[in-house]
Amino acid sequence: MLVYNKANGSVYKCQRHPFKDEWLIPEDCTIEEPPQFDAEKEFVVYADNKWTVNQIPVPEDEPEIDEFPEMDSSAMGQLRGERDSLLNKCDFRILPDYVGGDQEAWKAYRQKLRDMPAQIEAGTLPQPTLDDYGILNPYPKWPTPPA
């Protein structure tokens, strides 16, 4: 005897009970045959004692994610990139479980790094410049990290 899975209409062959004259029909199956359907566009479900044919939802297009966003190649953009790299390298020194006794000095250093763009725009620090190849010239006014 053939039975059909209620969740997707798959066909299974069921077995007879070894001691009784009856079929062993799994709970998630029915003997009612599902209607014809296009498995590439539709699916069937058995509920409330009847089969229903449903359309497979068409997935929405996912928005494109720019894996490599355009870098700011200006002198200030490159300076910010280097500054961010310096901040990242000393992140661990301001965590609560940092064992060094110089945590306050590192916090002050990091604050100086964060303040650099505003100080450059205010004219307190010199403007960064690019060489002939568009690469940031060595910047003379980086804060000194704690020893």
Q: Find, among 125, 31, 30, 27, the residue nearest to 75 by Cα.
A: 125
Would you call 87 helix, strand, or coil by DSSP? helix
CA atoms of 15 and 3, how far apart (whole Å) = 10
pLDDT of the residue at 51:
97
The one-letter amino acid at 43 = F
81 Rama sector, left if φ>0, alpha if ψ -120 to 50, beta otherwise: alpha
What are the φ/ψ torsions at residue 50 (nearest 5 degrees)?
-155, 155
pLDDT of the residue at 142:
95
CA quadruple 97, 103, 107, 113: dihedral, nearest 10: -100
Q: Find, among 58, 146, 64, the residue nearest to 107 by Cα.
A: 146
pLDDT of the residue at 139:
92
| Residue 26: alpha-carbon gap to chain centroid | 40
If pLDDT is split at 50, 70 and 90, which confidence band does 72 have? confident
pLDDT in tens, 83-124: 999 999 999 999 989 888 899 999 999 999 999 999 999 999
pTM of the model: 0.52
If one compares 14 and 71, the residue with the highest pLDDT of the two is 14
pLDDT in tens, 30-66: 999 999 999 999 999 999 999 999 999 988 888 887 7
pLDDT of the residue at 107:
95
pLDDT of the residue at 14:
92
Would you call 95 helix, strand, or coil by DSSP? coil
